[in-house]
Amino acid sequence: MRCRHCAVPLAHTFLDLGFAPPSNAYLTMEDLKRPEKYYPLRVLVCDRCWLVQTEDYAQAGELFSPLYAYFSSTSIGWLKHAEKYVTDMTAQLGLSGDSFVIEVASNDGYLLKNFVGAGIPCLGIEPTASTAAAAEALGVPVLREFFGETLARRLAAEGKRADLIAGNNVYAHVPDINDFTRGLKAVLKPQGTITLEFPHVMRLIEKCQFDTVYHEHFSYLSLAVVDRLFRAADLRIWNVEELPTHGGSLRVFGCHSDDARADSPAVAALIDVEKSFGLLDMAVYSSFQQRADRVKNDFVAFLIEQKRQGKCVVAYGAAAKGNTLLNYGGIKPDLISAVFDAAPAKQGKYLPGSHIPIVAPAGLTVRRPDVVVILPWNIAEEVMAQNSHARDWGGKFLTAVPEIKLV
Ligand SMILES: [Zn+2]
């Protein structure tokens, strides 16, 4: 396989999680009678441009079933994050009724509805029909297509270049990241601004968040690499902010390379931090597998010990993160008897690979578990607040990454 950015052959493995089914392939009871498809889940790193990337595999297209699409609006914390972003950007960039905002991967309209409310024209780009329909119901115009250079050029030709292009948690999920970046360039107005948010690979490594690796997550990004990707598309990163979302994300601010605005010192400063951390050195990548294995082994040992003691352990959150951890650990319903999740579309189904049944949160009071493992640790506070009654019978909450923590 060649690097998706610079095309040199890839020779270094960052993380090998063996084989796993697609993280969103939730199963029905009928599906449990059939064989299940597993795909290799391996992440490589380029020793020339340092792009950390998921290995290509056969039949990639089969993986992306939109049936169980994630609806951004189900997380209250994320809604607040989006609302604040819109207020901040509107003030900073002086957006008005004459401006035009594009959001790539606009999901269910969780963000753009704030621009609609403020009377600022906008357009969402979202290929997943179910979430696009939810956005349209909120009055958000949506183009149901995949974003890339071809679409961007078409929009530009129609006079639809943007003052602001937003992309939250999409950049790491696009297979052809060069084409996507050229698309940003093509549809950006001369003085326009791009903001992209993505999990920071430096935090992934630091906090051993190996469970954020799954097939649909193609790239694991640093500022240094995104800076390189932008330069290659004749764009420039002029500012960066560190965010607490998803265990530690970056929000980069981009513009055309010939834009007059000055670079914030934050950009060079963070690239220096990344260099000191070792992101431009193979050692930090080649030692990661061992660290991930330790977290997984500790978690499995904990579950076995609970089983021996006759304790009831359940999980909360049927999310991609959870599936990676459970499948890498080979964990089945004998160790975690159920996973609770608030999404009605998932209830009554089974997690891919582990086949743990998905149950509505109301069932917690029936089962009265001793331990609730919160799989999406990034929303642990929210989950604990919504299910605090589990403490009434002495139930404890637990997160497993980067180490077992009872809370
Ligand atoms: Zn490369």
Residue-wise pLDDT for 8-47, tens only, equals: 999 999 999 999 998 888 999 999 999 999 999 999 999 9
Q: Is the dihedral of CA 300, 302, 308, 314 positive or negative?
A: negative
Q: What is the average pLDDT across 278-305? A: 97
Return mean pLDDT, the chain. Answer: 94
User: What's the angle, vertex CA 327, arms to CA 250 and CA 354, rounded to 5?
Assistant: 125
Q: How far is the CA of 9 from the centre of ligand 1 (A)?
A: 8
* Cα 125 to ligand 1 centre (Å): 28
Percent of the chain with pLDDT over 90: 87
361 vs 127: CA distance, rounded Å: 30
Tell me if 60 sits within 8 A of 253, measured CB to CB. no
Written as six digits, the tokens of 246 are: 């998803």
pLDDT band at 405; cut points 50, 70, 90: very high
For ligand 1, the distance from its centroid to the CA atom of residue 252, given in whole angstroms, is 20
Beta-ladder partners of 253: 195, 239
Say yes or no to pLDDT of 59 above 90.
Answer: no
Cα(2) to centroid(ligand 1), Å: 8
Q: How far is the CA of 96 from the centre of ligand 1 (A)?
A: 40
Q: Give the three-state DSSP class for 162.
A: strand
| CA 52 – ligand 1 centroid, Å | 9
Residue 370 in contact with residue 312, Cβ under 8 Å? yes
CA of 31 to the centre of ligand 1 (A): 39
pTM over 0.95: no
Q: Which pairs count as long-range contacts for 278-281, CB under 8 Å and 24+ apart, including other chains?
A: 279/50, 279/201, 279/202, 279/205, 279/222, 279/224, 280/50, 280/224
Assign 69 a pLDDT band (cuts: 50, 70, 90). Answer: low
Question: Which residues are paired to 194 by β-bridges?
Answer: 165, 254
Residue 263 in tokens: 């670079």
Residues 183-203: what's their mean pLDDT? Answer: 98
CA of 267 to the centre of ligand 1 (A): 21
Rounded CA-CA distance 222/239 in Å is 14
Flag the least confident range among 12-16, 98-102, 212-216, 235-239: 212-216
